[in-house]
Amino acid sequence: MRIAMWSGPRNLSTAMMYAFGARADCAVWDEPFYAPFLKIGGRPDPMLECIFAREETDPLKVAERCAGPIPENKALFYQKHMPQHMLASFPDDWMNAVKHVFLIRHPARVICSYTKKNGIPVLSDIGIKEQTELFDSLTRQFNERPLVIDSGDIRSNPAAYLELLCHSLGIEWDPAMLSWPAGGHKSDGAWAPHWYPEVWTSTGFAGPEGPLPDVPDSLKPLLQEAMKHYEHLANFKISPK
C-alpha cells in the first residue's frame, strides 16, 4: 500500500513520517515534490543548492516513483506530501495509486509555530486552503472522503489514534510507531538540517498540547480565513467510537 499524507508545515508531519518509518514494513519519502516545486516555482530556500544536488527535481519522475514499485520490497510506502507544493503543471494521475490521508492542526498553533521559525506567514504558506481544495477534489473524484486526522488528537493519545489510523487504512497496528531513534531518519530530505533540528532531538511524540496560543492582532485575519478551511476538514476527522 502507498500512503499519501497531506499536511501543511508545523503540523506534526515529520514526527508522523518518523512514526511510519519506525515500522519494519514501511518505506518513507520526505516531501517528494518539494524540489520540483522549488525548481519550477522559484521559491527561495536556505539549502537550495544542496536540495537540487540531492533531490529529484523533475515532477514527472517524482510522480512515477510515487506510483511505482515500493522501495526496499516493503509492504507500505509512506509519502509525506504538502499540497502547496503541487503546482498546476505537475502530474496528478499518480494519486490514483495511493491511499490519501489529511493531517490537520488548529491554525492558531500553526501560525504561531510558523512565525517563530519562518517569519510572518500568508495563507498559502500554511497550506490549509490547498489541503481543503485537494480534499474536496479527491472526494469528488473517488466518491468517498479521504481520511482526516488531527495532530492534536495524536498528541493527546498517540497509541489510540495511531492504532485507529492504521485500522482505518486497513493495515496492522504496530506499536513500534510510538518511538524512533533521535537524530533523524535516513530518508530525511536534503532540507532537514535547516528545518528539522527540533524533531531530531525527539524519540517519540510530545505530550498533549496546552491552551491555544494567542495570535497577534495583525495575524487575526489570517487565522479567521484559515479557520474556515480547518473547520471544514475537522468535520471529517477520525475518532474512536
Give the pLDDT score at 41: 83
Residue by residue, DSSP assigns 133-160 as HHHHHHHHHHTSPPEEEEHHHHHH-HHH
Would you state the cell numbers that stand for residue 218, as one nine-digit string?
495583525
CB 146 within 8 A of CB 139: yes
Query: Domain span at residue 213?
Result: 2-234
Domain assignment of residue 146, yes or no = yes
According to DSSP, residue 179 is labeled B
Give the pLDDT score at 240: 84
CA-based nearest residue to 203, from 186, 178, 228: 178
Domain assignment of residue 240, yes or no = no
d(CA 87, CA 101): 19
CATH of the domain at 157: 3.40.50
Length of the chain: 241
Residue 44 has pLDDT above 80, yes or no: no
Domain assignment of residue 48, yes or no = yes
Give the pLDDT score at 194: 85
Residue 10 has pLDDT above 90, yes or no: no
Give the mean pLDDT of 90-112: 96
Give the pLDDT score at 119: 78
Give the pLDDT score at 214: 94
CB 25 within 8 A of CB 183: no
Give the mean pLDDT of 138-154: 95
CB atoms within 10 A of CB 138: 19
Is residue 69 very low, low, confident or very high in pLDDT (cuts 50, 70, 90)?
very high
Residue 224 φ/ψ, nearest 5 degrees:
-60, -45
Residue 168 has pLDDT above 90, yes or no: yes
- Report how many domains make up the chain: 1
d(CA 101, CA 145): 9
Domain assignment of residue 239, yes or no = no
Residue 173 has pLDDT above 90, yes or no: yes
Q: Report pLDDT digits (tens) over 17-42.
A: 999 999 999 999 999 999 999 999 87
Percentage above 90 pLDDT, the chain: 85
Residue 139 has pLDDT above 80, yes or no: yes
Domain assignment of residue 241, yes or no = no
CB 160 within 8 A of CB 240: yes
Q: Report pLDDT digits (tens) over 177-216.
A: 999 999 999 999 999 998 898 899 999 999 999 999 999 9
Domain assignment of residue 128, yes or no = yes
Domain assignment of residue 90, yes or no = yes
Would you state the cell numbers that stand for residue 167, as one nine-digit string?
485500522
Q: What is the mean pLDDT of the chain?
A: 94
Give the pLDDT score at 47: 83
Give the mean pLDDT of 144-148: 96
Would you state the cell numbers that stand for residue 26, as one nine-digit string?
514501511
